Amino acid sequence: MAIFSGIFSKQSGSIGSMTLRRVNGVTITSEKVTRNTSKTFAQLRRWVQMANITGMWRAFEGNLRLSFEGRRQLMSDMNRFVQANLGRIPVYLTRSEASQGGVVVAPYRVTYGSLPSVEVVANGPNGEVGTDISLGSLTIGESTTLKQFSDAVVNNNANYQNGDQISCFVAKQSTNSVTGVPYVEIDAYEVTLDQTDNETLISEFDPDGVVFTTMASSDKLGMSQTVNGGVVYIHSRKTSNGTKVSTQDLVVNNTLLPNYQSDAKMLEAVKSYGGTTSDAFLTPNVDVAPAA
């Protein structure tokens, strides 16, 4: 904004991109505010990834609060989740799929923190998911107590201490039989290590006996079954400086995922939002993915 005298001092109206107006006998000029709603191919390619990321965040139903260490007042938990995954693991949903709540399980980063990461791999004889959390000689059964489990974890793993929490999320991929839209259901489990509690581990924290089990092929903590989707184990600790977490990505075995990462799916998703409107004149107008 500027104030004029001389030749412009009594003018009003528009000159090019400027607007002149009289206020209390003074001529003030300001630049016109314009909005450019057009998007390039690269912008839309990035845009169509947002729907799956935010949909995945919502599927956790608030259980990922405090999952990213740092000054939370500067950015919301969801924004940190989006920032950590946008452009990192491309998954493309059309506008229709997104509006119907479609979600495809992808190896997104779900936590970021200062505790050592839990190694999570599909290492069982039938592809079961296991961790690097050693249980020593403990074989978890229906009568195993929380005290026994906690003793095994604390005594066999230098990074764990009494009062720490081990959480597990199991993201199950499905498809709506009528609409064909993908969706996800997430089961959440957690146990706080307590070396004095004699309540039963399975009945209280893992009723189905699925995620807190001893691997058949090792002395490590893991799952007793496979899942089409994703699994993650998280180590967390409460301190005087806030909640500390291990940095973890979903470990994914999802047969549906490749269908939503192809160039053809990307083009379908981009076109569902109207396509690009501001590509350069020399950009070929063809429905193929850009060259690498």
pLDDT tens column, 111-167: 999 999 999 987 655 667 899 999 999 999 999 999 999 999 999 999 999 999 999
Residues 6+ apart with CB under 8 A from 280: none
pTM over 0.85: no
Q: For residues 138 and 212, what is the distance between their CA atoms, to the nearest angstrom? A: 12
Amino acid at 258: P
- Average pLDDT rounded to a whole number, residues 5-23: 53
The closest of 208, 221, 244 to 120, measured between CA atoms, is 221
Structure letter (DSSP) for residue 200: B
Which range is least confidently modeled, 123-132, 195-204, 260-269?
A: 123-132
Q: For residues 42 and 91, what is the distance between their CA atoms, to the nearest angstrom? A: 14
Which range is least confidently modeled, 41-50, 239-248, 252-261, 271-280?
A: 271-280
pLDDT at 5 over 50: no
Residue 244: CB atoms within 10 Å: 16
The closest of 48, 59, 54 to 95, measured between CA atoms, is 48
Q: What's the pLDDT tens digit per position in 212-255?
A: 999 987 899 999 888 899 999 999 999 998 999 999 999 999 99
The closest of 167, 56, 42, 49 to 104, measured between CA atoms, is 56
Contact assessment for residue 134 and residue 190, using Cβ atoms and an 8 Å cutoff: no
Domain boundaries, the chain: 2-31, 41-272
Q: Which residue has the tokens 């291990």?
A: 246
Q: Which residue has the tokens 């729907």?
A: 51
Contact assessment for residue 215 and residue 90, using Cβ atoms and an 8 Å cutoff: no
User: How does residue 34 score in pLDDT terms, banded at 50, 70 and 90?
Assistant: very low
Instruction: Give the N- to C-terminal CA distance of the chain in Å, as an integer.
Output: 45
Residue-averaged pLDDT of the chain: 85
Q: Write down the pLDDT at residue 28.
A: 57
